[in-house]
Amino acid sequence: MAIWHTTPTLEQLNESAAGCMSGYIGLQLTELGDDYLVGTLPVDERTRQPFGILHGGASVVLAETLGSFGANLVVDTDRFYCVGQEINANHLRPVAEGTVTGTARPVHLGRSSQVWEIRITDPRGKLSCISRITMAVVAHGVDEGQ
């Protein structure tokens, strides 16, 4: 049974991110399963650090994008939206070329918060980064500054 409140097409999701950071660095959402979301990111001049390997920040962009999309697909966006509260990432293996793939799955789906785990693998399927993001579920009209 799917966990999603709505299930837009991958094309719609990718179009919504085209003019944002994720679109500029080539991130693409590639699969929407019943309880997971997959996306890819090229390792190229946009995403490498000066030593020629995938920048850790690019991995975090992939993780946060997947977690944020997943969190917002779970809620009724007419009433709520989800924003990141905390993210961490453990970079386990460098990646110098190809495409990395991230898979986001929920760990906790609560009324006021969600926790997602994102596993990022290299082109050979080896784990290169593992990340966890905590998302706040906010009702529309609520002032976040209070």
Question: Of the residues 11, 15, 45, 64, which is catalytic?
Answer: 64
Report DSSP letters for 119-135, one per residue: EEE-TTS-EEEEEEEEE
Residue 78 has phi, psi (to 5 degrees) of: -75, -20
Question: Catalytic residue at 15?
Answer: no
What single string gives the DSSP state of each residue in 85-143?
EEEEEEE-S---SEEEEEEEEEEEE-SSEEEEEEEEE-TTS-EEEEEEEEEEEEETT--
Please list the active-site residues: 64
